[in-house]
Amino acid sequence: MALTERQPQLEKTKALRARAPLSRKAIAALCVASFVAGLLLSGRVALMPADASGDGGAAKEGVRVSGGCGGNKRKLGENHPKDLLNEVSRTHQAIESLDKAVSTLEMELAVERARSGDGGGTAVASKPPQKAFVVIGINTAFTSRKRRDSLRDTWVPRGEKLRKLEMEKGIVIRFVIGHSGAPGGGALDRALDSEEAETRDFLRLDHAEGYHELSSKTRIYFTTAVATWDADFYVKVDDDVHLNLGMLSSRLAKHRTRPRVYVGCMKSGPVLSQKGVKYHEPEYWKFGDEGNKYFRHATGQIYAISKDLAAYISINQPILHRFANEDVSLGAWLIGLEVEHVDDRSMCCATPPDCEWKKRAGNVCVASFDWSCSGVCKSVDRMRHIHKACGEGEGAVWNVAI
């Protein structure tokens, strides 16, 4: 009898053991459900009257826990479910902040490896980079000597004033240019050598100049700048744009504590598939059907990126794809990253009377140019007038808190 009674129980036990074990997802779901149920039950304890229990003394005394450094006491279970959810939310935010901090440290480590030549790349500079607040690279060409001089006569300091600005304010300004590509260096390279010896305000790149090579030049500029200066921001500006250094610095200083910042006048122009037109995009098919627009990106006359984004370009520059237009290329490099796009319309004011009226109203522009010319029209002849009408004043940059 005993054996016949035990037989069904043994069969049930074998059947239970024969079942497939719970998956990891099911176990995780059960754990989460148990945790949430525990939170809800612990939150409901506070709803019970203190003297509802038969053991009045124990209920009145309760179990007390310390409430922080101030020594405040509270009963266990006094937290409302909403308070517990707020605690969970704050913990989640703290984890996200920690994750961003770790990402930043990893990026800085990768940059240091790249600078020392241990990161799989080639070290651009052998000495440690100089500390700076912002590096302003002015894109220029061999035939633009008069444009460069027009900037030196207005918003770009000369000689000792340029060095003082670097040492005291951490603002570095350089005209950015490569080489002509002529074997052994041609007449253009020799003329630039002479100008550089006189002005000492160039950043020479290992790059062959050419209009259709602007995307490559931009990659190499950021790579060289990151290896040379350890700055908070890196700016690219064209040599036919008027710039107020003080306003630029004050604007960037507001974003100093934010990681991965991309600042400029954001736009989304049409993808031009027709050959022969200006800004033709040979790879138009990658942007969808004909007539589509580009993703949002900063206009190419002037933009700024924070140090971690410049470091990202420096580290990954060999595999970053180049589109026909340089500003589109930069936007493409950053579109898939956790980047904060800052649309700053003060970086694309029009020339007088627009920037002049804004100055009188107390809204001094960061940069001014003419959209119709993709820069200041006839900049050599007009830059001095624009500087007088829209400039912030020579001493403004020295009063900016950086």
The per-residue pLDDT for range 237-262, each reduced to its tens digit, is 999 999 999 999 999 999 999 989 99
Question: pLDDT value at position 29?
Answer: 60
The string over 375-389, giving b where at least 16 C-beta atoms fall within 10 Å of a residue's C-beta and e elsewhere, is bbeebbebbeebbeb
CA 170, 207, 286, 107 torsion-angle sign: negative
Is the pTM value of this prediction over 0.75?
no
Q: Count CA atoms closer than 13 A to 150's CA, side-chain side.
A: 23
Number of helices (H) and strands (E), helices first, in the chain? 13, 11
Question: pLDDT value at position 33?
Answer: 63
d(Cα 75, Cα 65) in Å, to the nearest integer? 7
Q: What is the DSSP letter of 397?
A: G
d(Cα 335, Cα 323) in Å, to the nearest integer? 14
Q: How many residues are given for the chain? A: 402
pLDDT of 155 > 50? The answer is yes
Q: Collapsing DSSP states into helix, strand and coil, what is residue 134?
A: strand
- Over residues 203-232, the pLDDT tens digits come to 999 999 987 789 999 999 999 999 999 999
Taking residues 257-285, report their average pLDDT. Answer: 92
Question: pLDDT value at position 17?
Answer: 45
Torsions phi, psi of 265, nearest 5?
A: -85, 105
- Name the token pair of 288: 């969808």
**Within 45-137, where are the H helices?**
56-61, 81-116
d(Cα 368, Cα 347) in Å, to the nearest integer? 7
- Do 170 and 134 form a contact (C-beta atoms < 8 A)? yes
d(Cα 353, Cα 169) in Å, to the nearest integer? 31
- Name the token pair of 74: 């509270």
The string over 152-176, giving b where at least 16 C-beta atoms fall within 10 Å of a residue's C-beta and e elsewhere, is bebbbbeeeebeebbeebbbbbbbb
Instruction: Name the band, by pLDDT with cuts 50, 70 and 90, for residue 289.
Output: confident
Cα Rg, the chain, nearest whole Å: 31
Q: What is the DSSP letter of 349?
A: B
Helix (H) or strand (E) holding 206: strand 202-208
- Over residues 335-379, the pLDDT tens digits come to 999 999 999 999 999 999 999 999 999 999 999 999 999 999 999
